[in-house]
Structure 1
Amino acid sequence: MNRTDPAGEAHVTFSGVRKTYDGEHLIVSDLNLAIRRGEFLTLLGPSGSGKTTCLMMLAGFETPTAGEIRLNGQVINRLPPHRRNIGMVFQNYALFPHMTVRENLRFPLAIRKLPAAEIDRKVTRALDMVQLGGLGERYPQQLSGGQQQRIALARALVFDPELVLMDEPLGALDKQLREHMQLEIKHLQQALGVTVVFVTHDQSEALTMSDRIAVFDQGVIQQIDDPATLYELPANNFVANFIGENNALEGAVESVEGDRCTVKLDGGLRVQASIGNPVATGARTVLSVRPESIQLNVQSLGCANRLGGYVREITYLGDHLRVQVELAGRKQIIVKAPAAQHKHRFDTGDAIHVGINPQQIRALAPSA
């Protein structure tokens, strides 16, 4: 169940926040962001895009150069980290190696001077929450990577914070365990109703876990939306290329009618497309097309855009084929086609028809 709504209460707000280390280059530029109470928000972007700096400013480990950060309406720019009541989970777990698991969990409660009986009760509850109740007397080095990550998560939650920050917490885990932990963290967050701000550069991780995703590039949020909207309706060329796999077809706009336009591709082909952001007749545009939105041969017959090409490469991936097709003008595109529909029906070098409906093509302004 999604515990947030578009008009939900703002738990955290960034207002005009900037961050620079040298006075010239902005790591974060004029950030305005409202994080809803109880939501799972992911900050996603390439290295150096500003996402981790935003998290560190919220945690109190960095101070904004300008602007305000508010938590529950209170300005926290100069509030030290230990007074923010925020849980943190790091990629390297940051567990104390000389303490047992139970002692690691007791630590944040002891520094808050809670009564011993309450500390024991909260530690036991936190261990049970991450299904490691029997490992309290072990040391971190006696645990697997996945168990250490669970303990780090339990320690971030043990003092009942209303906000938890996670910085690439699953980066050190193997693929299978990482995918399992993604769902485990999401289910735990939903059950507790806690607000989570999660940093990653992994798009599939962000799509799996988030209520909303803020895509960063060069210190600026390029788009913030729910995963489906972000993937299906990218706001610009950067988001289209950064989220998932994308075919980018370049051309010029020949005509505009309502929310559709006709584009002449550089190879000479004409296609109809949906308008993603404002385009004008004669302007250059980049068409964004997801590989799974393209139909092949018989399946392409009902599509408004039907183009000819040649099969250059086929890769069998079990449930689907990854087909590289060369269109007129020698433009290469990738198609993901269901294996059950197409296996053994065409081969490398064959002529092929590809079909794309206008609602599956998004005309976007070229990147600056």
Structure 2
Amino acid sequence: MSVASPDTDVLVSFRGVQKSYDGENLIVKHLDLDIRRGEFLTLLGPSGSGKTTCLMMLAGFETPTAGEIRLDGKLLNRVPPHKRNIGMVFQNYALFPHMTVGENLAYPLKIRKLPAAEVDAKVKRALGMVKLDKFANRYPGQMSGGQQQRVALARALVFEPQLVLMDEPLGALDKQLREHMQLEIKHIHENLGVTVVYVTHDQSEALTMSDRVAVFDKGEIQQIDPAETLYEAPVNSFVAGFIGESNAISGTIEHVDGDFCQARLTGGGSVSARAVCVRQAGQPTTLSIRPERVMLGERAVGCANRFDATIAEFIYLGDHLRLRLDFAGNSGFMVKVPVPEVDPAWQVGNRLSIGWRAEDLRALDPLAA
């Protein structure tokens, strides 16, 4: 997929980039991608989708099999990693255990032969940025995982690189600390304006932090957009299923009229939907609807698509309830209901009206069996 930008303010460009390790199978198939100066771009996808390989090629730890990678117009293909002036943050921190925090941060500055006074000033500023001002004389082994990750982040930023690459940097942290660090990294990025390329397989992390997200699958970018667009307007079944939660219903297109279509459900009944990946009658389709877009009971009256469903299960999640419903041959249909809107009379086995707007249902490519 080509994702080249007409924007002249491009910092990184991939052109026709491919990567194979065995000469036969392409891990990255044909990548054209522009990364804008100052943006936070996340490469998101399942294991083996090609996202980390792209990051490693940009860092210089892997060489493209074909194509070109440029940083600020300069061809990078044969530039060794230590000469690219790129900051890196890894999941395992990669700190020197025999050096203090201050020495770890000073190291990239000293190899660039900066004067001692400038090294001290930059180290102090970087420690302040990650709220570790009083930890300069500690050793990494004397710090928590979250503190070590802050040191790794400060070390990647201390020499003021144009570009910082982050490979699953929060994967080793517990959920609460990970969510806190997501916001910290986002705020540091906003304050510094540095360009960040971030790799994760955690879609909520990608949605929280990014200006744009590139969703990878099988060595190709399936869609690249701001988080809200990815969630509200996925371009295919893979993106709809990978970003957030989605109900997938099988059907066949009956007719297409402009931006909308009519589809016959495999389990019976007909629906109106937004035509995304369908062009003509007879095409198989997977219809996608987000759980929070489904109306229940009286709210379903007047919806373009309306069915009777049976309550199969209640799943309590604190601020909301998930209802698993059976309708038209679909036994795993999920609906999210805020707790204040839950009817205390609902019980497993009850019949319930459900409905949704045609514009909230997307007719996409059929999911592989």
TM-score normalised by L of structure 1: 0.97
Name the residue aligned to 1:224: 224
Q: What's the counterpart of residue 286 of structure 2?
A: 286
State the match for 1:151 in structure 2: 151
1:9-88 aligned at under 5 Å gives the runs 9-88=9-88
Where do residues 57-206 of structure 1 align in structure 2 (5 Å cutoff)?
Answer: 57-206=57-206
Task: Report the 3-state secondary structure (helix = DSSP H, G, I; strand = E; otherwise coil) of the residue aligned with 1:318.
Answer: coil
Query: Compared with structure 1, are the counterparts of its residues 6 and 342 closer, same or farther at alpha carbon in structure 2 (3 Å cutoff)?
Result: farther
| 1:279 shift after superposition | 2.8
Partner of 1:243: 243
Which stretches in structure 1 are left out of the alignment for 5+ residues?
none
Shift of 1:128: 0.5
Structure 2 distance, partners of 1:329, 1:110, is 66
CA RMSD in angstroms, aligned pairs only: 1.2
User: Which secondary structure does the structure 1 equivalent of 2:103 belong to?
Assistant: helix
User: Post-superposition shift, 1:79?
Assistant: 0.3
Contact 2:278–2:285 under 8 Å retained in 1: no
Letter of the aligned partner of 2:302 in structure 1? G
Unpaired runs of 5+ in structure 2?
none
Secondary structure of 1:255 counterpart: strand
Quick check: 1:267–1:331 contact (8 Å CA) kept in 2?
no
Could you tell me how far apart the structure 1 residues matched to 2:113 and 2:264 are? Answer: 69
Structure 1 partner of 2:349: 349
CA contact (8 A) 2:19 2:27 kept: yes
Q: Secondary structure at the match of 2:68?
A: strand
| Secondary structure of residue in 1 paired with 2:329 | helix
Q: Answer whether contact 1:307 1:353 (CA < 8 A) is retained.
A: yes
Given that 1:44 and 1:51 are in contact with CA atoms closer than 8 Å, whether structure 2 keeps it comes out as yes
Distance in 2 of aligned mates of 1:38 and 1:100: 31
**What aligned pairs does 1:218-367 form with structure 2 within 5 A after superposition?**
218-367=218-367
Once the two structures are TM-superposed, the CA of residue 302 in structure 1 deviates from its matched residue by 2.7
Separation in 2, partners of 1:207, 1:330: 29
Query: Could you tell me whether the CA contact under 8 Å between 2:170 and 2:178 is conserved in 1?
Result: yes
TM-score between both structures, scaled by the size of structure 2? 0.97
SS at match of 1:204: helix
- Structure 1 segments, 4+ long, off by >3 Å, are 5-8
Q: Which moved more, 1:292-301 or 1:66-75?
A: 292-301
Instruction: Tell me, in whole angstroms, the C-alpha distance in 2 between the residues paired with 1:332 and 1:50.
Output: 31
Alpha-carbon distance, 1:193 to partner: 0.3
Structure 1 residues 6, 177: CA separation in 2 closer, same or farther (over 3 Å shift)?
farther
Answer yes or no: is the 8 Å Cα contact 1:68–1:77 preserved in 2: yes
- Inter-partner Cα distance in structure 2 for 1:248 and 1:351: 21
Counterparts of 2:153 and 2:227, CA distance in 1: 24
Matched positions, count: 364
